[in-house]
Amino acid sequence: MGANEKPSLFMSNDDVERLTGFKYPSKQIRWLRANLYRFEINGLGRPVVYIEQSGKKAKRPQGFELKFAS
């Protein structure tokens, strides 16, 4: 990183792939949801994970169950 470069606020696409184990955004999104990570979906349909949030998981409300369409 150069002297004038700011550190990124977001995980890189490679970092998201490494975290989830999946290359395709739809599979990454499914994995992030199933593992309770907080993220946004950008205009390209890719998950965007804030680096400061990457170590924090969302809390699942009591009685909440994830269901995915096949």
- Segment 51-69 mean pLDDT: 59
Return the pLDDT at 41.
Answer: 96
**For position 45, what pLDDT does the model report?**
97
pLDDT for residue 1 is more than 60: no
pLDDT above 70 covers a percentage of the chain that reads: 64
pTM value? 0.68
Q: For the chain, what is the domain count?
A: 1
**Residue 46 falls inside a structural domain:** yes
Mean pLDDT of the chain: 81
Residue 15 lies in a domain: yes
Assess if residue 2 is contained within a domain.
no
Domain membership of residue 68 (yes or no) is: yes
What does the pLDDT read at residue 64? 55
Query: Is residue 1 a part of any domain in this protein?
Result: no
Picking from 10, 66, 14, the residue whose alpha carbon sits closest to that of residue 42 is: 10
**Phi, psi angle pair for 37, to nearest 5°:** -90, 145
